Structures are given as C-alpha cells and as structure tokens.
Structure 1
C-alpha cells in the first residue's frame, strides 16, 4: 500500500452555499445519480428505486451522537418511500442461510446510539444485504475507527454507498426485483476552521473477515469515477483538485500507517 499523503489544506471558504442538507453533509450532499432524497435529523439518504437500495448516505458523527446504550434492530420499510421503491422485512428472510449476508447498516447504528432518532436507522432504505465477513470484519472495523477518532473530540462527516461492478447474489425470498451491491465505498472527511482532511475506502463483498481496511484506501477521484457521483460538489475547485486526487492523511488518524 502506498504511504498516505498529507491532504491537509487550509482554505478560506465561507459556508454560505450549503443547501438544506448541510447538517449531514460537508460541502453539500453528493450529486450525479437519479433517485429520491430523504433528509432526517441524523442522516441524508438518496434512494434508488431500481436497485431498491440507497445510492449514498451522508451523516455527521459527533461526540454527542455516539456511546449511547445498545440499541435494538427492529426492521421496517421506509415510510417515506413507495412500496415499489424499497424492500420489506420479509424480503430478507433466508438471506443469511442462502447467500451469507447480514442486514448491513449503511449509516451505522452505533454512531447514533445516543440520538433520540436512532430507530430511523433500521429503515430498510438504510440497509443492504452485506456479506457477513465484510460486515463483521473490515467494514465494522473502519466504522469503529471513525468513532475512535470522534472520541478525541473531532466531528467527522461520512458519505457511504454501494458499487455495482459484478454480480454478487440475489435475496432468495425477495418478491421484488433488486440489485445487491458488489462492494461499497466510504469517504471520511473532517473540516476544522478551513483545514480539510479526507480519506476514501472501497471494499468488496467477497472480502475476508480478517482483511485490513487500511489496504482498501483509494482516492476520492476513484470513488467518483466508479460511482458516477460528485461527493462534495461545492468544494472549491482548487481545493478539490488536491484533496480528491491524493490518498488522505486522515487515514493515519483512523489507524493506518
């Protein structure tokens, strides 16, 4: 793996162009794919009615949102989506036995266990069938690393979503056409007084439980090329060219050398 390159850049940027999703997104929410945007207090989600899963989710983890009590998983269809745009709990029956997948949170429950709105994370619009080894291995380890960084007093913005690059599987009991992701991306960003740091990761559904998430680091440019998204659309062009084209030193703060 290449050694992380410092991607810190002080910028004098006035946050007047933020849209209504600024609470959950830094430098505005991603653009570039069709779907329905749903904004909630703890996340913003962009649902794809064809795949039945979110094109992306964006959330803002703070010291106040984490380290609450253990929360239950009571799965529900998203009440803001039409029935033909999302899956229902019964669609996941037999998923673990049939294809070895968990109900994987895209916005992690543990990152908002101290929020009064944590139940909204169990809507199936925030869930995908995620291979158990990935979900319980490098994916959750990266989510844990984000929370460890937040415990130092640092706010962290995250954009996460699916990739569709090869066929992985289909839910054996689903009665709706759907498209399970072949992998996932996660872009992690901090911004303090104009100092921007960012790192991106891509993990595949066939990952091993023992895989090191640090070896999956990529540039944000690669994430955008493989997803068709503009992750931070109002990031100034001169800053964007540097931050998104190099491996970020935020990975060092996430436990990577």
Structure 2
C-alpha cells in the first residue's frame, strides 16, 4: 500500500515592508546545501552536480503568470550547466517503462504558461524523475491548489526540492551517476503588506495517486531538519519560531480543512 506523508505549516504574522532578496524568493533564497545557483526571470534554482538534480527551486506565481495556452515539453540540458553536472534527454529513455517515473517539473509549466520564458522550465535542471502516481496525483493537485489561490488575486512564493532519505531507483537509460529523490518538499509563502502566511508539504515517491496532500501537517522546521536547508534565511529571528515552528491557516486556503 503506497503512503503519502504531507506536511503543512500556515501561520500569519505582520512584518514591516520587506524587499525580497530576488524576485523569485521571499526572505532571501534558501541556503545550507552547496551547488551552482542559476537565476532566471521566472525561477531560481541551486543545482547539485553529484545528484544531477536541483537542491531547491524557488519561484513567484502571480495572476499574470498563469492561465496561458497549453505549452509543449521539449526537453533540453541546461545550457548554464557543465555536461557532468546535469542529465541529458537520453538519460530518461525507458524511465517510465523501467521504473514508472515521469519527467516531473519542479517549477510547474502550468504556473508560467503565460510567461514568455516558459521554455526555460523544460531544462532538465528543473526536472526530476517522479513516480507517475505522485506526479499525476497529489503533487499536481497541490500545484492546482496553488494556482486556484493565485486566481483569487493572491501572489505566492514557492520553494520546492528533493529529499534523499531512502533509495528509490536509478534511471535505466542514464550513462552517468545520479541519485533519484525518495520524496519532495514544497513550501508555499504568501506575503502581503507585511502579513506572512506559510505552508509546507512533503510527499514520498511511493505515494498513491489518490492520496490527499493535506493528509499530514507539520512545520517548516520539520522540512528544514530533513533537508538541511534554511528556507527563508533572512526571516527575522524573533519571528522565525512563530512562522516556521507552528501550524496555521494557509493550508485552509489551499483546500485543506
């Protein structure tokens, strides 16, 4: 029986006006793992040359970025990465037949279908092998919930990335060493006029397509402990315990009761 572990934090707190470190990040981009950071107009990511996948990706979803036309999937190696630091399209050959994985976008294509730079989402630095049931089940349902919230007029910042807690599988067609994640996290943050709300989710590769992303709620502290990341490194110390250490309300606006 497949299981999904979903974790969520949501809490409100008022801050003075704050300018994001980068347009794609709020309270600065994550720190704590080494790799090459690449910033583009619609996302920032930190690539791990050992695993061949991003340590994290960060992006800002707005009403202007969503609801464009359906976009194609034309996979390419990231031109900003050395060949030995990332995978190539041929490495994914036989992945679905062999281990049941899709090419999963960490920054969703549908969240930037109205952006002129949407093609950059098909770089393999933004792709990881995701179990088909996860990718087409609770993972995409959470992405849809984020876009539904944004359609209400609410911008959100998202940080997403992998977990490496157990061995999952290896790409049967890959000709270089890599490490497929055992699960994934997603942290969703809303910041409006100093009012901050945040939610976090963790989903395992062995999730069922029918699993509910709202199933289990914990804190961002839990995500940071399991990833080794500081998700919002310039969040004021006096507020970190409240924002990252307590459960709250944003999950309710993402469809969780």
Alignment TM-score, normalising by the size of structure 2 = 0.95
Higher RCO structure (Cα 8 Å, ≥6 apart): 2
Would you say 1:198 and 2:202 are equivalent positions? no
Q: Which residue pairs with 1:210 in the alignment?
A: 210
Q: 1:131-176, CA deviations, whole angstroms, 9 ceiling, x for partnerless residues?
A: 0000000000000000000000000000000000000000001001
Q: Which residue pairs with 2:181 in the alignment?
A: 181
Report if aligned partners of 2:9, 2:218 keep a CA contact under 8 Å in 1. Answer: no
Q: Aligned runs of 1:127-206 on 2, under 5 Å?
A: 127-206=127-206
Q: Which residue pairs with 2:239 in the alignment?
A: 239
* Cα distance between partner residues in 1 of 2:131 and 2:9: 31
Q: Which residue pairs with 1:219 in the alignment?
A: 219
What 5-or-longer segments of structure 2 have no aligned partner?
Answer: none
Would you say 1:30 and 2:34 are equivalent positions? no
Q: Which residue pairs with 1:97 in the alignment?
A: 97
Q: Which residue pairs with 1:42 in the alignment?
A: 42
1:6 Cα offset (Å): 6.1
Q: Which residue pairs with 2:70 in the alignment?
A: 70
Report if aligned partners of 2:10, 2:243 keep a CA contact under 8 Å in 1. Answer: no
1:246 Cα offset (Å): 1.3
* Cα distance between partner residues in 1 of 2:238 and 2:201: 23
Choose the corresponding residue for 1:10, options 11, 14, 20: 14
Distance 1:216 1:93, change over 3 A: farther
**Dislocated runs of 4+, deviation >4 Å:** none
* Cα distance between partner residues in 2 of 1:43 and 1:254: 22
1:100 Cα offset (Å): 0.1
Q: Which residue pairs with 1:59 in the alignment?
A: 59
Aligned length: 252
What 5-or-longer segments of structure 1 have no aligned partner?
Answer: none
